[in-house]
Amino acid sequence: MVMKKRDRFEAKRTGKQDDLFPVYVDDFLMTLKYYVDEEESHLWIKDFKICHSCEYKPCLYFCPAGVYSRDSDGTIQIAFQSCVECGCCRVGCPYDNIGWKLPRGGFGVAYKFG
Ligand code: SF4
Ligand code: SF4
């Protein structure tokens, strides 16, 4: 169960933060609605050769939706359908190797409850 913002502020104000419910990103992700554009990805790798020489591959860690993964031969895969359009990968890739644009009109994530 996710605590209302007002209740969180109240818990902080009164010092009763121990009463706060734990908040999990997965719980928030489940409240979203996705309108997936199956014909056109709004995310892409510009140059896969750069990924192969990227030592730490931070894209595997900074994306809150876990969009980036590696297949069996180490190639970066993009599950663009799960993107929450936070924009982190526009600045998180040390080689500026991720192409990013907003999904086409009518597609993308819908924040219905928050
Ligand atoms: S952080 Fe950028 S360059 Fe490195 S693996 Fe991910 S997309 Fe490729
Ligand atoms: S915009 Fe955010 S959610 Fe989408 S792929 Fe980039 S880091 Fe992940």
pLDDT truncated to tens, each residue of the chain (114 aa)?
455 666 666 767 777 666 667 778 888 888 899 999 999 999 999 999 999 999 999 999 999 999 999 999 999 999 999 999 999 999 999 999 999 999 999 999 998 764
Measure the CA–CA gap between 80 and 14, rounded to whole angstroms.
Answer: 42
Q: Is 84 in the pocket of ligand 2 (CB under 6 A)?
A: yes
What local confidence, expressed as pLDDT, does residue 2 receive?
Answer: 52
The verdict on residue 1 lying in a domain is no
> Under a CB-based contact definition with an 8 Å cutoff, are residues 84 and 76 in contact?
no
Residue 50 burial (10 A CB sphere; 0-12, 13-18, 19+): middle
The verdict on residue 2 lying in a domain is no
The verdict on residue 87 lying in a domain is yes
The verdict on residue 99 lying in a domain is yes
Query: What sign has the CA pseudo-torsion 63, 85, 103, 91?
Result: negative
What local confidence, expressed as pLDDT, does residue 73 receive?
Answer: 93
pTM of the full predicted structure?
0.79
The verdict on residue 98 lying in a domain is yes
Q: Is 109 in the pocket of ligand 2 (CB under 6 A)?
A: no
C-alpha 81 – ligand 1 centre gap (Å): 19
Domain CATH number, residue 64? 3.30.70.20
Give the total number of structural domains in the chain.
1
29 is in which domain, residue-wise? 25-110
